[in-house]
Structure 1
Amino acid sequence: MIFEGTVEGMTCQHCVASVTEEVSELAGVNAVTVDLDTGSLVVDSAVPLAREDVAAAVAEAGYRLR
């Protein structure tokens, strides 16, 4: 399953690493790709992910899922 979204507020590679780490901890996640320039977030998971769960993980990192 692929989840796609946009993360707001990232300014550096540390931001990317924080989002990647938090989203990676969700159950079933295989891979997370975050692009600093576009804010793009792509999550590959073995199970469907609820938008609320991904948004909560992004918020835990200190950013907002749009």
Structure 2
Amino acid sequence: MQLRIRLIALENILIAVLADGSDIQLQMARQMADYISPRPGFTQHPLTTHAAHHMTDLVDRAMHFRSMQG
């Protein structure tokens, strides 16, 4: 249970940091999600696919808070 609580806290801190980050930092986060995604012709591992999607979702959530700042 403690690990889940800490993970939620870390995700929210990351969203806050990304919301205040530069465009390049947001682009790098998206590129990292693309990098860990399975390549064409390779096996689609569910955990890797889910992780890449989750990374993109964190960036999207950060963009939401970024738009609220301005």
The structure in which a higher percent of residues are strand is 1
Shorter chain as normaliser: what TM range? 0.3 to 0.5
The structure in which a higher percent of residues are helix is 2
Using the size of structure 1 for normalisation, the TM-score is 0.33
Using the size of structure 2 for normalisation, the TM-score is 0.31
When Rg is computed on C-alpha atoms for both structures, the one with the higher figure is 2
